[in-house]
Amino acid sequence: MSGDDAPDSAAERDVESPYTLQREDGDDTRHAFWADTVADRVANREPDEPIVVKGGISPSGVPHLGNVNEIMRGYYVAEALRERGHEVRQVFTADDRDPLRGLPRTLCDLEGNLVDLGEVDAGALGRNLGAPYTDIPDPFGCCDSYGDHFSTIIQDSADALNVPIELISNTELYENGDLEDVTRYVLENQDRAREVLAAYQDKVDEDYVPFNPICAECGKVTETVTSVDLEGETPTVDYRCTDMDAGDQTIDGCGHEGTATLREGKMPWRFEWPAQWQVLGVDFEPFGKDHAEGSWPSGQDVARNVLEIEPPVPMVYEWFTLDGEPFSSSAGNVILVSDVLELLEPEVLRYFFAKDPSKARDFSIERLDQLVDEFDRLEAIYFDEIDASEDEQAFADRVYPLVVEEPREDRIRLPYTFAAVLGMTDDPDLREEIARREGHIPDDAPEWAIDGALKRVEQARNWARRTENEFDYELKRSAIPDHEFDDATEDALADLAEFIEEGHEPDEIQGEIYETARRHDVDVGEFFSAGYRLFFDESQGPKLGSFLAKVDREFVVARLRRER
Ligand SMILES: [Zn+2]
Ligand SMILES: [Zn+2]
C-alpha cells in the first residue's frame, strides 16, 4: 500500500464526540433533567416514528445492576420523548451470537443466586468455548441456551423496574435474515469497509473479511474466510476453521473447510453495531466509556462511510462502582436488580438512574440509607413539604413523576435507619405501634400507606442482615433481659439516661458513654457491655452512641432506668 493510499488515522477523521451531555452547545435549552437535553437532540433530527432507543449487551458473566444502567438511561430519554407525543420503541439487543471467549468464574441462576462455575456442568461450557452463546446449553438447564438464560435475567430486571423493553436476540436477527442484506452490502463493499476500519484497527489487512462464519463441524465462530460468493441467489462464503485468539488463550479451530450462508455467522462487532443501527432504525443509543473510545469512533465512521446512514444520537454514561469498587462477578463484587429490590422500593432505584449520567457515582450498599434519604427528600420537595434550592425544586418537579408509578401525597416513608431500628423487633404490631408513637404514621393514614411504610421495615431489615451493620441485632423490646450491675454502674446508667432524655446527637451520646463511665469509675468496656446486655441480651453490639440516638428516646431512657 503506497503512502498516498494509506487511510487517515482515526484522529484525522471527523469523529463526532459521543459525550452528548458534556458538550456545551450555545443554542441548547437549559433543562433541569438531562434526558430532556438528549430528547431535544433526538427530536431535532425529526426522526421517523416510532423513534427507536437502543441498548445492548453481550451475555457474559452475571447480568448485574451495572448492566441495567444502559436500560434505565435509555428509558428516561424514551419517556421524555413519549411525553412530547412521540411513539417510541425501546429495544435492547442481546448480542448473543458473540462467541464465549472464556469461562466465567461465576454464574447466576434465575432466582438471582450467584453460583460458582464448579457447581454447574463446567465441562459442557469448556467444550463450547468459541461457540455463540445461543448455541451453548444452559448450564442451569432451565432455558433454551446459555444466551437465553442471561437474557431472561435481563428481561426480569427490566420488568421489576417496570421498564418496557423489547429484548431482541442478535442470533435471531441473523437467522431470520434481518441482517442478511446489510451483511451482503458490507461484503460487496469490502474494500471500503477495510479502508475505514483500518484507521482504527491495526489487524485489518488486505485478507480481512468482515464476516465470521460458524463452523458447520465444531460450531465455533471462525475468522478465516477463503472466498466470498455474492453472485448466486443465496450469497455464501467459504471458510477454514482456524484457531481463534481469545485474549490470553487460544481457542483451537478444527480445520474443517466448508461453506456458510450469511445467516450462518456474524459480522465482527465493529460492523455489527452499525448494522444494528440500520436494521433497527436506531435514533438514540447510550453506551459506556469503553465504547466511547473504541467502537463508537469506528462505528459512526462505518455508518456514514460504508453503510451511508446517519449514526444515532450517542450518549456516554459513566460507570458506577459498587461500594467503591468496580463491579466484578469473579471478585464477588456484584449485585443484581432482584437483590437490590429486597432492600428498597423500585422507585428509589429508578431515582438512582435518573441522576446525571455524566458523573461517576458509587452505589453503596453499606450506606444505602443515604440514597433512600435522598429519594425521600426529592419526594418531600416535590410535595412542597420542605424548602429546597431552585435547582433542587426544578429537578424534583421534573423527575419525581417519572420515577414513581403515581405521585401520591398520602404516602408514608419511614426514615430508612428508623425502619432498620423497627426491623430489630419481629413483632409487626409492635413495629406499627412504635412508628405511630414516634409520629411517623398519622391517625388518619390510609391502609395502603401504612402497608407501604411497614414494607420498608422488612427492606431495612434485609439491609441490616446483608451488611451486618449496627441494626443487625435483635432488640429485646418486650422485656428487660436478666442483668446484674453494681451500684456504680447503676448510677452511671441513670446519668446516661438523663443525658439522652435531654436530646443529643449520636456523637455526643457516644462521647457521654465514655465520660459517664469515667466519672463513676466504671470500666468503659464493662459499661458498654451493660448497655448491650440491656438492649440485646449480649455482651457485644453495634456502636452504642449512634444506635441509641436512632431508637425512640422514650424507650431508651426507660430501659436505661430499667423501668421496662
Ligand atoms: Zn436458564
Ligand atoms: Zn470447526
Ligand nearest to the CA of residue 217, numbered in listed order = 2
| Closest ligand (CA of 144) | 1
Gap between the Cα atoms of 523 and 276, Å rounded: 71
**pLDDT reported for residue 5:** 42
Query: What pLDDT is attached to residue 7?
Result: 45
CA distances from 260 to 186, 239, 242, 276, 345 (A): 16, 8, 15, 21, 50
Q: How many angstroms does the Cα of residue 107 sit away from the middle of ligand 1?
A: 11
Which ligand is in closest contact with the Cα of 223? 2
Look at residue 404 and tell me whether its pLDDT is greater than 80.
yes
Cα 141 to the chain's mean position, in Å? 26
Whole-number Å distance, alpha carbon 259 to ligand 1 midpoint, is 32
Give the model's pLDDT for residue 37: 95
Find the largest Cα–Cα distance for the chain. Answer: 101
pLDDT digits (tens, 9 = 90+) for 435-494: 999 999 999 999 999 999 999 999 999 999 999 998 999 999 889 999 999 999 999 999
If 0-12 CB within 10 Å is exposed, 13-18 middle and 19+ buried, where does residue 20 land? buried
Q: Which residue stretches of 438-476 are H helix?
A: 447-467
**Which residues contact residue 507 at a Cβ distance below 8 angstroms, ignoring those fewer than 6 apart?**
545, 546
Q: Would the pLDDT of 204 be above 50?
A: yes
Q: How far apart are CA 285 and CA 75, in angstroms?
A: 11
| Residue burial 491-519, b: 16+ Cβ < 10 Å; e: rest | bbbebbbebbeeebeeebbbebbebbbee
**Is the pLDDT assigned to residue 53 strictly greater than 70?**
yes
Q: What distance in angstroms lies between residue 135's CA and the mean position of ligand 1's atoms? A: 13
Asked whether the bond before 50 is cis by omega within 30 degrees of 0, the reply is yes
Spatial separation of the C-alpha atoms in residues 386 and 159, rounded to whole Å:
33
pLDDT at res. 9: 52
Q: How far is the CA of 168 from the centre of ligand 2 (A)?
A: 27
Across the chain, mean pLDDT equals 93
Ligand 1 centroid–CA 66 distance in Å is 21
Non-local (6+) Cβ contacts of 351 within 8 A are: 371, 374, 375, 378, 399, 403
| Whole-number pLDDT of residue 318 | 92
From the CA of 131, the nearest ligand is 2
Task: Tell me the residues surrounding ligand 1 (ion) with CB < 5 Å.
Answer: 138, 140, 142-143, 149
Q: Is 191 exposed, middle or buried (0-12, 13-18, 19+ CB in 10 A)?
A: exposed
Provide the edge-to-edge strand list for the sheet that holds 51-57: 166-169, 88-94, 51-57, 284-287, 313-316
Which residues lie across from 107 on neighbouring strands?
115
C-alpha grid cell for residue 48? 421517523
Determine the distance separating the centroid of ligand 2 and the alpha carbon of 139, expressed in angstroms: 22
Looking at all shown ligands, the one closest to residue 257's CA atom is 2
| Ligand 2 centroid distance, CA of 216 (Å) | 7
Ligand 1 center to 57 CA (angstroms): 17
Determine the distance separating the centroid of ligand 2 and the alpha carbon of 241, expressed in angstroms.
5
Tell how far the Cα of 264 is from the centroid of ligand 2, in angstroms. 13
Q: Give the ligand at the shortest distance from the Cα of 220.
A: 2
Alpha helices in 303-440 (DSSP H): 337-340, 346-354, 368-382, 390-403, 416-422, 428-437
Q: Which ligand is nearest to the CA of 145?
A: 1
**What's the gap in Å between 89 CA and the centre of ligand 1?**
27
Question: Across residues 395-419, what is the average pLDDT?
Answer: 97
Cα–Cα distance between 92 and 58 in angstroms, integer? 11
Alpha helices in 84-189 (DSSP H): 122-127, 146-160, 170-175, 180-188
pLDDT, position 174? 98
Tell me the pLDDT band of 89, cut-offs 50, 70 and 90: very high
Q: How far is the CA of 140 from the centre of ligand 1 (A)?
A: 5
In whole angstroms, what is the distance from residue 148 CA to residue 97 CA? 11
Question: How far does residue 133's CA lie from ligand 2's centre (Å)?
Answer: 16
C-alpha 252 to ligand 1 mean position (Å): 27
Question: Ligand 2 mean position to 270 CA, how many Å?
Answer: 23
Given pLDDT bands bounded at 50, 70 and 90, which one contains residue 121?
confident
User: How many angstroms is it from 32 CA to the middle of ligand 2?
Assistant: 55
137 C-alpha to ligand 2 centroid (Å): 18
What integer pLDDT is reported at residue 4 of this predicted model? Answer: 41
* pLDDT tens-digit series, residues 242-282: 999 888 889 999 999 999 999 999 999 999 999 999 999 99
If you measure from the C-alpha of residue 402 to the centroid of ligand 1, how many angstroms do you get, rounded to a whole number? 32
Distance 106 CA to ligand 1 centre (A): 14
Q: Which residues contact 290 (CB under 8 A, 6 or more apart)?
A: none
Cα(109) to ligand 1 centroid in Å equals: 7
Nearest to 200 by CA among 19, 15, 5, 23: 15
Q: Which of 108, 102, 103 is nearest to 142 (CA)?
A: 108
How many A from CA of 139 to the centre of ligand 1? 7
- Ordered by where they begin, the domains of the chain are 35-176+270-316 (3.40.50.620), 201-268 (no CATH), 335-465 (1.10.10.770), 485-559 (1.10.10.350)
Q: Which ligand is nearest to the CA of 137?
A: 1
Q: What percent of the chain has pLDDT over 90?
A: 85
Query: What separation in Å is there between the alpha carbon of 135 and the centre of ligand 2?
Result: 14
Using DSSP's 3-state secondary structure scheme, residue 301 falls into helix
pLDDT band, very low/low/confident/very high, at 228 (cuts 50, 70, 90): very high
Looking up cell 470500666 gives: 523
As a whole number, mean pLDDT of residues 4-33 equals 66
User: How do beta strands 88-94 and 166-169 pair?
Assistant: parallel
CA of 170 to the centre of ligand 2 (A): 21
- CB count within 10 Å of CB 458 equals 16
257-261 and 236-240 strand pairing: antiparallel
Cα 158 to Cα 164: distance, rounded to the nearest angstrom: 7
- The whole-number pLDDT of residue 60 equals 84
State the average pLDDT over residues 295-313. 97
Q: Do the Cβ atoms of 199 and 192 come closer than 8 Å? A: no
Tell me the CA–centroid distance for residue 237 and ligand 2, in Å. Answer: 15
Ligand nearest to the CA of residue 139, numbered in listed order: 1
Q: Point out the ligand nearest to the CA of residue 108.
A: 1
Compute the average pLDDT of residues 202-212.
Answer: 94
Instruction: Pick left, alpha or beta for residue 46 (phi over 0 → left; psi -120 to 50 → alpha; otherwise beta).
Output: left
CA distances from 12 to 7, 20, 307 (A): 10, 20, 20
Q: Which three cell numbers stand for residue 455?
A: 414494607
CA–chain centroid gap for 32, Å, is: 23
Cell 465493529 found at: 270
Report residue 490 as a C-alpha cell. 447503676
Percentage, residues of the chain above pLDDT 70: 96
The backbone torsions φ and ψ at residue 94, rounded to the nearest 5 degrees and listed phi first, read -90, 115
Neighbours of 7 (CB within 10 A): 16
Taking the centre of ligand 1 as the mean of its atom positions, its distance from the CA of residue 118, in whole angstroms, is 17
Nearby residues of 456 by Cβ (< 8 Å), 6 or more positions away: 344, 345, 413, 414, 416, 419
Mean of the pLDDT values across residues 90-113?
Answer: 94
CA 273 to ligand 2 center in whole angstroms? 25
Rounded to the nearest whole angstrom, what is the distance from the C-alpha of residue 97 to the centroid of ligand 2?
Answer: 16
195 C-alpha to ligand 2 centroid (Å): 29
- Helix 487-502 to helix 506-519 angle (10° resolution) is 150
Cα distance between residue 482 and residue 484, in whole Å? 7
Distance (Å, whole) CA 320 – CA 423: 29
- The CA–CA distances, whole Å, from 502 to 428, 508, 546, 554 equal 29, 11, 15, 11
Q: What is the pTM of this model?
A: 0.92
Written as nine digits, the cell of 83 is 411525553
* 150 alpha carbon – ligand 1 mean position (Å): 7
